[in-house]
Amino acid sequence: MIALDVDAIDALLPQTQCTRCGYQGCRPYAEAIARDEAAINQCPPGGAATIERLAQLTGHMVQPLNPANGLELPRTVAFVLEEFCIGCTKCLPACPVDAIVGASKRMHTVIAAECTGCELCIAPCPVDCIVMIADTCGTDGKERAAIAEREAAQFRQRFEAHNARLEKRTQEQSQRLSAQHDRVAAENAAGGIAEAIARAKARKLAQSPPPGG
């Protein structure tokens, strides 16, 4: 079996992080291809063009997109129906590239030029106020072409930054919880010591002979 470079495979993927390939992102899918555990035809956003490039890199035969993973369709982006948005913020962490702007109890909006069209923000929305619309972010108002290498690199950078922020937030929360645990333990220990001292004094007084005895 040919030794395959995961970075080279990942570089050919559109970096939508949509999980339609059956993996939790483009990088895990690239790793599975490199291990020969996944076929090269499981990426709907990349479509036929990506399959051809992967075939050239890996030496596998070109094959049609697996319909079990989805269909190759024109690009779409998420759009928030403002009149229905309740500002719950549930869609914010779901976006792999932080393309949604919003705050608690404030109307959210999508930065269309940064949206990968992954659709991962739809399921968490409790009021179904997010829909997918045609991606017409081009200056001429026409639908954007397939994701190019430069755009995919930008998506990857935003995805990595998103993950770094989540990891930092998780670490900070863990540190706060650890500090809180240590503080409570110290307070409990201090209380236990005080109680032990009080009990010792009580025993000493009980054992002392009465005055003038």
Encode pLDDT of 125-159 as tens digits. 999 999 999 998 765 667 888 898 999 999 999 99
**Polymer length in residues for the chain:** 213
Alpha carbons 168 and 100: distance in angstroms, whole number: 19
Within-domain flag for 123: no
Inter-residue contact 98 to 115 (CB < 8 Å): no
Provide Rg for the chain, Cα atoms: 28
Is residue 156 domain-resident? no
CA distance 6 to 48: 20
Contact 138, 7 (CB under 8 A): no
pLDDT in tens, 166-212: 899 888 888 887 777 777 777 677 777 777 788 888 888 777 666 66
Neighbour-count burial of 155, counting CB atoms closer than 10 A to its CB (0-12 exposed, 13-18 middle, 19+ buried): buried
Question: And the tokens for 161?
Answer: 């930054």
Q: Is 169 a domain residue?
A: no
Tell me if 11 is assigned to some domain: yes
> And the tokens for 195?
């109680």
Predicted pLDDT of residue 1: 46
pLDDT for 98-129, tens place per residue? 999 999 999 999 999 999 999 999 999 999 99
* Cα 116 from chain centroid (whole Å): 13
Range of the domain at 56: 6-69
Q: How many CA atoms lie within 13 A of 161 on its CB side?
A: 9
Q: Going along 11-71, which residue ranges are E strands?
A: none
Domain for residue 135, yes or no?
no
Q: Give how many domains the chain has, as a whole number.
A: 1
Position 22 in a domain: yes
- 201 domain-assigned: no
What single-letter DSSP state applies at residue 43? -
Q: Where residue 45 sits, what CATH number does that domain have?
A: 1.10.15
Per the domain annotation, does 184 fall within a domain? no
Predicted model pTM? 0.78
Beta bridge partners of 109: 101
